[in-house]
Amino acid sequence: MSYLDKVRDKRLFATKSMNANWNHYYGVVKKITSLSGQWPYQKPITRLLCVLLVTLSTISMIIPQVAKFFKCDGNLQCIFETMTSYMLTSVTLVKLYTCYFNRCKMKVLIDQLFVDWNELETPEEYEIMKRYAKNGRRYSLVYALYCFMAVYIFMSVSLIPQVLDVLLPLNESRPILPTYPGYYFVDERKYFFYTFSHAIMAWEIAMSGIVSHDCILLTYIEHVCSIFTLVGLRFERLMCKRNNTMNVLHSHTSDVYRKQIAFSVYTHRKALKFAQLIEDTFSLTLAIQIALNTIMISITLLQITQQNADILEVIRYVMYVVGQLIHLFCLSFEGQKLIDHSLQTRDKIYNSLWYETSPKTQRILLFVMQKSLQPIFLSAGKIYIFSMENFTMIVQTSMSYFTVLSSLE
């Protein structure tokens, strides 16, 4: 059997395996993104209806937030309280329409994902791809469950005074704790359960826009990390181990050897293009998000330190800050992972027996190493780079803004 026949059989095996396991690896992301109309292969009318549902739900919360803002009548504490909620709804709309208006790019990314699975050559490469696909599935599932449960728990805190009035009644009813900072133009106590029901449904629907955006981004990053891992593996396999010693393939001038080198270089360039497309698609959204998150954390910390803050309000604010930090940590963790994987190609080539190859091959490997000198990263507007180091910087910046706001009180 010729080399091309072997490659064709291996790709056929990978294609069948990919089709059989697609729902297992990427089914979670597909379902989540379909809920908010961000899956690019949905029917146009279905996508539009889903996006409109999320948009209308978000607007139905923005209206009470704006009304609450004007009702504050210049009270800084009231304004800050309203801004934390208003910024979150703004992030929801930004993320929702980022995926909606970038449908073509999203299609290219998903198509490339299929192509990469079909180009796998060995069971070892398949296991690598499968491992990262499982990571993406696991992260998406945990992240989605966390976000939806966090929203429900955050809203449900407002029910505690109502429950205590029934179980441990006082001479007078306990003060109403609003579900979120908003004014519904009605009596809060009389229509509490109506406003509570609307808030729960509207926020959960709006949260699907945030979750779907973040989950598909995490999935893309995990996939490009798997491609960089495959590139490193393929360059390592250019050397054969025989009799417990490493020797360069004597047939490095053969067509098979040249094809292996060319295919490895091609895979590396494809990974770079995939990472660049992710950057082009999500960079602007992440820039807006990082700016709003920094401000939200600062304002929420200010609310926690208010002397007249109710204990239940403090609990909710703490939950809100923790949620924002977890959100930023997830993006920073994946950004750091992308940086580390993009640099490993250079290290694996350097640690191989490149010096025993032909001069022509060395020039090719040198070219790949030069491409790998600069790390590939996920950025926010080409300014902020998501990494674990910069995550601590954002926390410190938020604390600095919090100190400034505290001095204004």
Residues of the chain with pLDDT under 70: 1-22, 238-258, 307-309, 352-357, 408-409
pLDDT number for residue 47? 93
Q: Is 210 in contact with 33 (CB distance < 8 Å)?
A: no
pLDDT number for residue 207? 92
Helical spans, DSSP H, in 36-122: 44-71, 76-101, 103-118
pLDDT number for residue 246? 43
Cα 70 to Cα 109, 191, 295, 342, distances in angstroms? 44, 21, 20, 49
Please give the helix or strand (H or E) that residue 256 lies within, else none. Answer: helix 255-304
For 397, the 3-state DSSP assignment is: helix
Q: Name residue 176's amino acid.
A: I
pTM listed for this prediction = 0.86
Q: Name residue 195's amino acid.
A: T
Helical spans, DSSP H, in 119-254: 123-156, 160-167, 192-236
pLDDT number for residue 203? 92
Placement of tokens 């729960």 in the chain = 200
Sorted by sequence, the CB contacts under 8 Å of residue 347 that are 6+ apart come out as 232
For 187, the 3-state DSSP assignment is: coil
pLDDT digits (tens, 9 = 90+) for 228-243: 998 888 877 765 543 3
pLDDT number for residue 346? 79
Placement of tokens 């296991």 in the chain = 127
Closest CA to 387 of 342, 329, 324: 329
pLDDT number for residue 196? 92
Q: Is 196 in contact with 159 (CB distance < 8 Å)?
A: yes
Backbone angles phi, psi at 121, to 5 degrees: -110, -30
Q: Is 208 in contact with 32 (CB distance < 8 Å)?
A: yes
